Amino acid sequence: MGVIELNHPLVSHKLTILRDKNTGTKEFREIIGELSTLLCYEALKDAKTDEIQIETPICTMKAHKLNEDNYAFVPILRAGTGMLDGLIRIMPNAKIGHIGMYRNEETLKPVKYYYKTPKDLANREVIVLDPMLATGGSGIDALTMLKEDGATKLKFLCIIAAPEGIKKMQEIHPDVPIYCAAIDEHLNENGYIVPGLGDAGDRIFGTK
């Protein structure tokens, strides 16, 4: 399945603004949404459509339409919710789930506190959202829970990914493609992505 990294001048431009420590909360949040829309566009390149007949103002024609009910977006709380607007802007009828986790700052392992998803995950394509794929712990646990709940068609969307997190996720979930705006250099001793963009959740919500 592999990793799909967006390579585009517009993406590079937006990432530069995100990475800048002087970028304010409003602009940071907006750009997270914009990049999420672009990631969703890439992730849905293989989407299946139904052929229908419509009438344009000029004539009758055959056209293609997505069944949005076949999709579920599942952000990992809390930072993943910052990506959600960018996806539901283009697919507003997709179902939404939430998985709550936070990172134990001593062990760097995820701690789970909330799980709520749409029914019939086995019949949906499930797209998991988390801005940062760092150690991979939260993403791996989220994917494991969703698979245990019946999901078989999964994709993982993030803004920034670290090689360590990619490697670990591919070892545990080799069937899940990873879509990211950029693959960065490495993790530092505190488990943060370098050069990264800091704590995405804090910057999205202005809590630091």
Catalytic residue among 16, 25, 107, 152: 107
Cβ count within 10 A of residue 35: 26
Marked catalytic residue, from 78, 103, 120, 149: 103
In the residue annotation, 107 being an active-site residue is answered as yes
Tokens of 149: 């709940």
Write down the catalytic residue from 85, 120, 149, 199: 199
Element (H, E) at 55: strand 50-55
Q: Is 46 a residue of the active site?
A: no
Q: Distances from the Cα of 83 to the Cαs of 48, 58, 141, 142, 152, in angstroms?
A: 23, 38, 19, 16, 22
Is 203 considered catalytic here? no
Q: What angle do CA 121, 178, 191 make, to 5 degrees?
A: 110
Q: Does residue 199 carry a catalytic annotation?
A: yes
Gap between the Cα atoms of 122 and 70, Å rounded: 10
Catalytic residue among 49, 152, 202, 207: 202
CA dist 34 and 52 (Å) reads 30
The residues carrying an active-site annotation are 103, 107, 199, 202
